[in-house]
Amino acid sequence: MNYSEVVSPPTNRKLITLEAVKTELEITDTSQDVFLLSLIEEASSMIREYTGREWAQATYIEYVAGVNNFSLVLNNFPIQNIEYVKVYGREIDKLYYLVDKEAGILFSSFGWGATFLLMAGFSSPIPAGIVPTYEVKYTAGYVLPDDTGDGEKLPPVIERVCKDLVKILYFARKRDDAVQSERLGDYSVSYKESKKMEILHLLDRFKRVI
């Protein structure tokens, strides 16, 4: 399993804007802004947990074992920029690999073992049984709706799912209060959870599959 550390964490992790949510709910004043922002944070967190990935842009240093296949699979994607790939403290020229940005994969037709290092100019062979570990510094993630930077924008379906989750959380507050007074709280919870999972299943194709 890769080891990665966050060099520059996301400054914003909200997957939908407050304005978009208020438009959807037909709210025109600011009296509920704080509450709505908390729901946006909750819905965004649910999406991160369900998909098992970070959606906001961040910069990472990741250490990946160079087994003898053609791909180095990184934990975070889409890749926005590769700053460097190093092995044994030496930077690998970008001519020796291709980047599949959307999948978060570095591809080399030589593999990432001994043959690759020889082709990349390493004169000393790797000792038997030693698997080289590559250090990759890169930026990955999407430009979120509240962001102004360059790069690939968040897929619209993620915004739609986040918006729908916020709506469920928002209306569940009133429904839970009403149902509780009728002593049917378990039904309310089951209904809310089933709707949330139904919506989250739309994101199955965005999970990392290795």
Q: Are residues 123 and 71 in the same domain?
A: yes
Q: Are residues 103 and 71 in the same domain?
A: yes
The rounded distance, in Å, linking the Cα atoms of 179 and 166 is 20
Q: Are residues 40 and 75 in the same domain?
A: no
Q: Are residues 63 and 107 in the same domain?
A: yes
Last residue of a domain, one of 140, 160, 183: 140
Q: Are residues 82 and 153 in the same domain?
A: no
Element containing residue 100 per DSSP (H, E)? strand 98-100
DSSP secondary-structure letter at 131? P
Q: Are residues 94 and 160 in the same domain?
A: no
Element containing residue 106 per DSSP (H, E)? strand 105-107
The 10s digit of each residue's pLDDT in 51-110 is 999 999 999 999 999 876 889 999 999 999 999 999 888 899 898 899 999 999 999 988
User: Closest by alpha carbon to 63, among 76, 74, 52, 79?
Assistant: 74
3-state helix/strand/coil string of 180-209: HHCCCHHHHHHHHHHHHHHHHHHHHHHCCC
The rounded distance, in Å, linking the Cα atoms of 16 and 163 is 7
Phi, psi torsion values for 17, nearest 5 degrees: -85, 155
Domain range spanning residue 87? 58-140
Q: Are residues 49 and 66 in the same domain?
A: no
Cβ-proximal residues to 122 (8 Å cutoff; 6+ apart), any chain: 88, 90
Q: Are residues 47 and 71 in the same domain?
A: no
Last residue of a domain, one of 89, 123, 140: 140
Last residue of a domain, one of 123, 140, 157: 140
User: What's the domain count of the chain?
Assistant: 2
Whole-number pLDDT of residue 189: 53
Whole-number pLDDT of residue 194: 82
- 46 pLDDT band, cuts 50/70/90, is very high
pTM of the model: 0.83
In this structure, are residues 22 and 28 in contact, taking their beta carbons and an 8 Å threshold? Answer: yes
